[in-house]
Structure 1
Amino acid sequence: MEKYIFDKDNGLWYELQGDYYYPCLTVPAEEEKSIGIWGQRHLRFIKTERKALYTELLTSGKLNTYLANINEQAKEQMLLLTEQMAEREGVTEQLKAQDQMLWVQRMNNIRDRAIEIVNHELIYA
């Protein structure tokens, strides 16, 4: 028996292992991109809560690109929300110069609210 055979009907190669032929399946190569903290959070979420999406992305070779895209969107949204909330609430460089502790408290509060929004809209959606 031949080690490898090609099936013209489905276009797959098969490899002989023991008495059976198994398809030679590979996942397409994917460009390595940094997924960052937001991408890692979303990965953890889809692995546990959206298994079909995770499996589809993994087998199609698009998981890393998808997570890198989510990470970029989350970073941009976080920056935009933080800037908008700080402007709306009057948290400025002038306040930072006058009362640093108050500025830190308000910025931490703004950052925490922005994280909650990003988590709700992008990461755990």
Structure 2
Amino acid sequence: MKNKKSINNMNYVLVGDYYIPDLKLPHEERPIGKYGWMHREYLKEYNPMMFNDLVLDGQLWTYLADLNEQAQGRLSLIVEQMKVTEGVTEKLKAADQMAWLGAMNSIHNRAEEIVLKEIVYR
């Protein structure tokens, strides 16, 4: 008696008297991080069909990990560009730490808003 069967490119395994789909999820080690979780919630709320497709294909975790890495990279790039443009340097940090901290917080917050709009909530 045959224990495996393939129908329409889908593998099935005989369990008792029934064939059930032989589903295997991909093994993903990367964390999905802050931006991945935010995008996950966004998909569930505003694009449930895409969310369901990613879940059923077993690609949700990989997709979110990729998105998180992309968002973090973009955030770092924007922060560095804003620091150069606004003259926020190590020299300022040594001279006036509070001014440097305020400028960095402002830069980070503005950069994160850009990342959220461009990547996370799209």
The TM-score normalised by the length of structure 1 is 0.82
Hey, what does 2:67 align to over in structure 1? 70
Q: How does 1:1-125 map to 2 (within 5 A)?
A: 13=12, 24-25=20-21, 27-32=23-28, 33-125=30-122
Runs of 4 or more consecutive aligned structure 1 residues displaced over 2 Å after TM superposition: 4-17, 25-28
Aligned length: 118
Amino acid at match of 1:118: V
| Superposed displacement of residue 83, structure 1 | 0.3
| Superposed displacement of residue 5, structure 1 | 9.6
| Superposed displacement of residue 31, structure 1 | 1.6
| Superposed displacement of residue 59, structure 1 | 0.3
| Superposed displacement of residue 63, structure 1 | 0.6
Q: Which runs of 5+ in 1 are unaligned?
A: none
- Tell me the percent identity: 38
Could you tell me whether the CA contact under 8 Å between 2:5 and 2:11 is conserved in 1? yes
The TM-score normalised by the length of structure 2 is 0.84
Instruction: Name the SS of the counterpart of 2:21 in structure 1.
Output: coil
Instruction: Name the SS of the counterpart of 1:28 in structure 2.
Output: coil
Bigger radius of gyration: 1
Instruction: Name the SS of the counterpart of 1:64 in structure 2.
Output: helix
* RMSD of aligned Cα (Å): 2.4
